[in-house]
Amino acid sequence: MQTYFENPLSWTGFFTMLAVGVLMLLIVLGFVTYAIYFERKVIGYMQLRPGPNRTGPFGLLQSVADVTKLLIKEDTIPSKADRALFILAPAIAFVPSFAVIATLPYTSNLYAADLNVGLLYYGALTSISTLGIVLGGWASNNKYSLLGGMRSAAQMISYEVPLILSMVGVIMLSGSLNLRTIVEGQAGWIWNWNIFPQIIAFGVFVIAAISELNRTPFDLPEAESELVAGYHVEYSGFRFAFFMLAEYVYVYAIAALTTVLFLGGWHAPAPFLTFIPELIWFLLKFSAVVFVLFWLRATMPRIRIDQLMGLAWKYLLPIALVNIFLTALVKELLK
């Protein structure tokens, strides 16, 4: 039999890949469950509230109870909605958020896929989630949902441009789109991390990433005070949970990507600290990024849509372009 694959996948390889995928899904779902818990605890502490403290010891089962409630709630579909697209939209929003995790390296030996175009793969897949949000708003046959979906699309597309451009400086320094190669270029002392030579790109990346996550102060896609909860107003039960799940999976992905691109990945800040396992360093940096995201949500108010769009096109885009030219100039001068 003729095969179109140079190395056909065996059944052993197939089940190994399946097991790795299931394991990653369980890890991400565990992160999402307790990221919600710790976010509520952190925000509660900052705002002098106790946060979850009743369900389970120290409230540890509160997120589990919330998820269970969503899964067993009635799943309603509006009678005049586009049924097929209404059902498909949450999956389109969630699947890319999980698929991008495949290319994230956690240590020099712990990663699911080592793609030469890993960063391009990440940027391409994250763009698909925008389609899920737009379809969710349009398929609901609700004017508020449609407006929420269109406004969400405008925001996410606008901020994808500076987000991708902010990565170009890192790509120029490392000479690769491979995420493992980018991390290896930051080995040694802390000043080798990309956050220092690319501090401008780091600022643009963080602001654009928070907007891509639809989190405070850029949580206009939800905007329940303005558009009756935006694009997902007609969703209930587990379909609504899929939209929320996608948001928190992207928190995981963005925190990991920030660690890889700018914070040295699994590398210690100094050579004499390399006795600490690589995974520990990665998790410490990853946790710090997640904490900052929670901190911003606790302290910043939502901005207006005109301020949101103006920030992307008037400020972040030109700054990202200037950073690319400065990086090219410095590399040329240092030849």
DSSP-derived secondary structure for 86-155: HHHHHHHHHHHHHHGGGG--SSSS--S---TTHHHHHHHHHHHHHHHHHHHHHHTT-HHHHHHHHHHHHH
Average pLDDT in the chain:
87
Helices (H) and strands (E) in the chain, counts: 12, 0
Domain range list for the chain: 1-72, 80-334
What pLDDT sits at residue 212?
86
Token pair 């949101």: residue:
308
| Token output for 1 | 């039999």
Of 13-22, 117-126, 146-155, 326-335, minimum mean pLDDT range: 13-22
Residue 138 corresponds to which amino acid?
W
Among 103, 98, 108, residue whose Cα is nearest residue 121? 103
Binning pLDDT at 50, 70 and 90, where does residue 5 land? very low
Name the pLDDT band for 27 (thresholds 50, 70, 90): confident
Q: Tokens 């902010």 map to which residue?
A: 166
Given a contact cutoff of 8 angstroms between Cβ atoms, the answer to whether 83 and 77 are in contact is yes
pLDDT range class, residue 1, cuts 50, 70, 90: very low
pLDDT of residue 111: 84
Cα separation values, 304 from 12, 216, 259, 293, Å: 53, 12, 30, 20
CA-CA-CA-CA torsion for 172, 176, 181, 182, nearest 10 degrees? Answer: 30
Please tell me the least confidently modeled range out of 77-81, 115-119, 220-224, 248-252: 220-224
Average pLDDT (56-81) is 88
Query: What would the pLDDT profile of 170-198 be if each residue is shown by its tens digit?
Result: 999 988 899 999 999 898 889 999 999 99
CB contact at 8 A, 237 and 73? yes
Contacts of 224 (CB under 8 A, 6+ apart): 230
Where would I find the beta strands (DSSP E) of 103-176? none
Q: What is the pTM of this model?
A: 0.89
pLDDT at 267 over 70: yes
Bigger pLDDT: 231 vs 41: 41
For residue 229, is pLDDT > 80? no
How far is the first Cα of the chain from the last one, in angstroms, to the nearest whole number?
Answer: 54
- pLDDT tens-digit readout, 43-53: 999 988 988 98
